[in-house]
Amino acid sequence: MLVINAGPNDGHRPPFEIDGGVMVPPSEVPERVPAILRGLQGMAGVRVEEVELVEPTEMTVLHAPEYVDFLRETCAELRAARRSDGEAALFPSVFPYGPGLRARGRKAQIGEYCFDTYTPLMAGTFDAALRMASAALRAADCVAAGGETVVYAVGRPPGHHAERARFGGYSYLNGTALAAHRLSARGPGAVLDVDVHHGNGTQHLFYDRADVRTASIHGDPAGLFPYFSGFADETGTGPGLGANRNFPLPPGTDDRVYQPALESALEWLAHDRPAFLVVAIGFDAHAGDPIGGFALSTGYFRHIGAMLRQFGLPTVVVQEGGYGLDVVGECAAAFASGMRSC
């Protein structure tokens, strides 16, 4: 298995999150990446390559150009205005409440482009997000070239919550969706999101498209982030009607409860005989994750990998969530071991 390493991206280290008006320690930290790589690098057959950055303009095949410009320019301004007492972190404080968005100035624009208070902009945020998106695109290119059957893009921040022109859920640029879009030139595609949180950004970006089927297995949004998407009746619109499926599951879901949803999702994704598979992998569904609320075992991630191996498609794996630093490496190793005979 080839691993594309986007790096821990220390330049994007949020000092805190704001949850219900309270500052709490950040969950999405640079240490996630070394922890995952430690689990993978000890395995036979795993090769690691460093990421090659793509141009920011490559993001605009799915993300709005003005949104990409906002992220890049705001982070550049924060870099130029670095304070002597530490890194500045820009959080939204006002959100749009009516039609006809005409935001001017960074304070208004960040409220227009961001949908939560967990996801700040910092001097190194755009570079970190671009590196992770670049890793996902490189993984797609390697699979498309035919020399690799499975390529795993490892890095942070995650991306599956990023929509066309909105960031949140620790996500800024949607590497999972960008990889699937890149591969869609080769035929019908399938995206499976097994992060514990619904991949609202990926759903949003493909919601009106029939060429890429998207399935997400996640905690019921009635009580889990992102709250406002991921319900079972969201099935697509226009040409994409019927090409999106959500499998919301209750808090405390364990291996036994998860299995029927995984089987159903894979059966549904196989319906159109896709040419490729993109997997948004999140280890926050593990029982030891501090913010997930599921109870999957480490060994079950091996089972997920084995089922994807049996799916038999060229596969790109993109790292999304997973915040228990003491378990993510073991989860990654278990998942990779399930897939390594691909």
Q: Quick count: other Cβ atoms within 10 Å of Cβ 289?
A: 23
Predicted model pTM = 0.95
Boundaries of domain holding 188:
2-339
Each of the 342 residues of the chain gets a pLDDT tens digit; together they read: 999 999 999 999 999 999 999 999 999 999 999 999 999 988 888 999 999 999 999 999 999 999 999 999 999 999 888 765 557 889 998 888 766 566 678 888 899 999 999 999 999 999 999 999 999 999 999 999 988 999 999 999 999 999 999 999 999 999 999 999 999 999 999 999 999 999 999 999 999 999 999 999 999 999 999 999 999 999 999 999 999 999 999 999 999 999 999 999 999 999 889 999 999 999 999 999 999 999 999 999 999 999 999 988 999 999 999 999 999 999 999 999 999 854
Return the CATH number at 116: 3.40.800.20
Q: Which of 12, 63, 160, 161 is catalytic?
A: 161
CA 200 to centroid of chain Cα atoms: 10
Show the beta-strand stretches assigned E in 180-223. 189-193, 212-219
3-state helix, strand, coil in the chain (%, to 5): 40, 20, 45
Count how many domains the chain has.
Answer: 1
Told to judge if 161 belongs to the known catalytic residues of this protein, a careful annotator would answer yes
Extended beta strands in the chain, E state: 2-7, 17-19, 22-24, 47-50, 150-155, 189-193, 212-219, 244-249, 276-281, 315-319
Q: How far apart are the first and last CA of the chain?
A: 8
Q: How far apart are CA 196 and CA 184, in angstroms?
A: 25
